[in-house]
Structure 1
């Protein structure tokens, strides 16, 4: 039960849980109304907890932001043997009840006193920690969604104006789950990014994402956050900033969409003048390719010659990565099944690179004044399951925050590669500078592409140092 709940399963905690069950079993009612429901909840969560650990804010937020297809893929990642644990837990507790009743076994004396004492002794121990985490995380998510609904008509940017805005079209491409060290452009030994590796523009080595999954990261990177508390400010979001300068906004996404304010990301997207989601409505159960987004972008560029800002949110390398390349080939042949999934992951990054190349080629032919930025929302962590190495976001890697950052523009005639630390918490400042927007709440001197280190990481490096997982560098698939 404790392992399945992802909480402390030391001998002491196991002993305390056993004592709790034994003494609560002194009463038929306390067994069936306390012990049994507790064990059932642990049992239901155990297949997930054995793989991803205890529920956290990020995990609960991901549940809110996940559609049917993502849920199906999520459960496919869980080893089949994990689904036996709920039956083992429930069978075990029922068998225990049968034995103590059948043989009239009593391991207690004064039942009332002992039950009260045991319950209070458990309040700050592992059995109740699981429920406290669920309640705390759920309340945090609920409060954030309530806050989103409260602020939906409001923007606190005030007046903005355009100053030295060079291009007619700005395109912000958001990658998904693409860790920097798996890109050929950043040194990965397999060249899965031929376009990013050779194109003129700026390749920045040093961007740190805002979190370890889509919601946790983008809610901070696409708003001007409270950097001390790591909290987003939805009244200062990137779309409202662009609109405050009189620029038309578009949001084109291959991510799931439920309603305007069902997730922090859809709340920001809903602010756009125009939004298009491949996976909303009838698309919710389809594994749609990122390439389909190109047609929508082409339609916008061809039919709208006004100044515009287009956000393109890819499905990229989202787990399950093998489903991301249904319409694409694997980059190399792998002999060892252990690395099959990583082969899909590396290939999905190559597919994203091809997407960027196709988009850039179209823009060069149809818009002589454009600039495009690509970055990823977060990385992932290795995990070996059933003899095969997978990637997932539900536990943190020391390399989880390292993501690519690439910019290419219509007038680029040279290539620049810079190793400079850039905090995702400054991302909105960087986008404002890129577009040429002036606002009193923006640092007008900040640039993502000045090749200088940000002076403050706002505690990210300290957090990374606290991650207990050993360093898990990219795995070279050559010869595997």
Structure 2
């Protein structure tokens, strides 16, 4: 039977739609995904109910495309950002999206509406095609069923559904499962913050009066001169740091997942699942150890939908936010990290006998980079985004310098540690940097110490995990906890290299750091 040009054209459109939707939803291009979508369109597209379903799903795919372009399919990081973001930050996120992505989205929506209203879908009478589609749909799940090995965190049904490679099913299931994980974790965190520290403290012998933790934002260490970057954007840290540690691997590639694990106890369910025990955090431990505790933040507090980090900050005796009701929106412009310095000066002016723990949470190098800059761009790289990013790191170095100067002014000994929550990965042929869990560089962060009682500099090159860093920080503060861990049992210089580090991916599961891809920095010269 000879096929008419009209029928061939409709088959071509259906095949094109199948290829396109896989890309729009952020999934890897696989022949089974494309074929399953194509066959579902030509077999079911003639029915009104399925035509409506496909039409709505393709419009949703077009709307999701800008997110998929930067962050991939739905995951816990995307869901948490969705629920813990205000309209100002939504506007800022949209302002970073290239105009052509909005244009593509708009044109796609129009095209999809016209196609699913006007296109006459092919009529399929061949039952063998339906049988072939069912075999294709069931091949991977059946194979997974045969090879399945149960674990406490992964059931047989999960394994089977994970292997259904039909884009719409994968997309809607990912939305559901990621949302479920997010809300379960949020409920657990809310229950935890009603508790106090439960880690027994054996002894407290601080060497300094003031301990200051500076948590940076979105800094990968190979963009810092202190770690070999070719532009001199960390002159103070390079010259005055007492310890420059090359090898700290952040727990996750986004703030909301990484910071709680960096400063709270990590609880492992098995080799795939880890959660932060929020009540056992460095602030609550310091409280129990008799420290006065302070949290100074330029990251803002969202109030009714406050994110995880402010829940930890609430344990401090004193909280200061430059932005009370927002995280990072248009009304926060002009509120730079330097606004934390007068508060630090005020705290140190209040003389007291107790040792202090002060945490400063910076906006640092959060995207949009150019909006982070308080001063002019200081380095001219090949595009504005990267120039602003490098300059933002220089402003953080200047802030650390000012912090040390304030500490010195008050004539009290101190120890300061600076680390970043996570790094970033290049995008658009090195034109930009964004969150991406698939690259090692998204986890390779600075770890730098400044000490009023030391005049020498040590450089340590050992890979260590950001999980359980709360033990290392407690040891640094002279607090001995009743835990068995190499961070607690060794001096800083004696902590051994950790060969099998895992990070948290965007499914909220542990993944081997060594299996991640590399994203080289073209300006790195070490």
Contact 1:145–1:262 at 8 Å: present in 2 too? no
Runs of at least 5 residues in structure 2 that lack an aligned partner in the other structure: 1-20, 139-160, 504-509
* CA-CA distance at 1:141 after TM superposition: 0.7
Aligned to 2:123: 107
| Distance in 2, Cα, partners of 1:422 & 1:261 | 33
CA contact (8 A) 1:200 1:412 kept: no
Alignment partner for residue 9 of structure 1, among 29, 41, 61?
A: 29
**Is contact 1:192-1:350 (8 Å) kept?**
yes
**Is 2:500–2:512's contact at 8 Å kept on the other side of the alignment?**
no
Q: Determine the structure 1 residue equivalent to 2:113.
A: 94
Are positions 1:466 and 2:510 aligned together?
no
Structure 2 counterpart of 1:453: 496
Normalization by structure 1: what TM-score? 0.88
Alpha-carbon distance in 2 for matches of 1:29, 1:53: 29
Deviation readout 1:414-448 (Å, 9 max, x if unpaired): 22222222221131111110111122136474457
TM-score normalised by structure 2 residue count:
0.81
Question: In 1, Cα distance between the equivalents of 2:173 and 2:491?
Answer: 40
Q: Is the 8 A contact 1:158 1:244 kept in 2?
A: no
Q: How far off is 1:193 after superposition?
A: 0.5
Partner of 2:51 in structure 1? 31
Change (3 A) 1:206 1:407: same
* Structure 1 residues 192 and 158: alpha-carbon distance in aligned structure 2, compared to 1, 3 A threshold: closer
Name stretches of at least 5 consecutive residues in structure 1 with no aligned partner.
Answer: none
Please give the per-residue CA displacement for 1:351-390, whole angstroms capped at 9, x wherever unaligned.
00000000101101114221111111111101116xx610
Which has the higher mean CA deviation after the structures are superposed, 393-402 or 164-173? 393-402
Contact 1:157 1:439 survives alignment (8 Å): no
Q: In the alignment, what sits opposite 2:252?
A: 211
Alignment match, 2:435: 393
CA 1:361 to 1:92, structure 2 compared with 1: closer, same or farther past 3 Å?
same
CA distance in 2, matches of 1:161, 1:245: 10
What's the CA shift for 1:331?
2.2
1:251 aligns with 2:295: yes
Residues 291-370 of structure 1 mapped to structure 2, 5 A cutoff: 291-305=338-352, 306-325=354-373, 327-334=374-381, 336=382, 339-370=383-414
Give SS of 1:3's match. helix
Structure 2: distance between partners of 1:292 and 1:417: 31
Give the number of equivalent residue pairs. Answer: 464
Question: How many Å separate the matches in 2 of 1:56 and 1:268?
Answer: 24
Question: Once structures 1 and 2 are overlaid, which stretch shifts more, 342-351 or 409-418?
Answer: 409-418
Deviations 1:227-254 (A, max 9, x none): 5433222232222111111212111111
C-alpha distance in 2, partners of 1:477/1:322? 21
Alpha carbons of structure 1 residues 150 and 93: separation in structure 2 relative to 1, 3 Å = same
- Structure 1 position 138 matched with structure 2 position 157: no
How many Å separate the matches in 2 of 1:260 and 1:165? 37
Asked if the contact 2:300/2:325 (under 8 Å) is kept, the reply is no
> Is residue 200 of structure 2 the alignment partner of residue 155 of structure 1?
no
Aligned-residue offset at 1:323? 1.0
Alpha-carbon distance in structure 2 between the residues aligned to 1:442 and 1:465 = 25
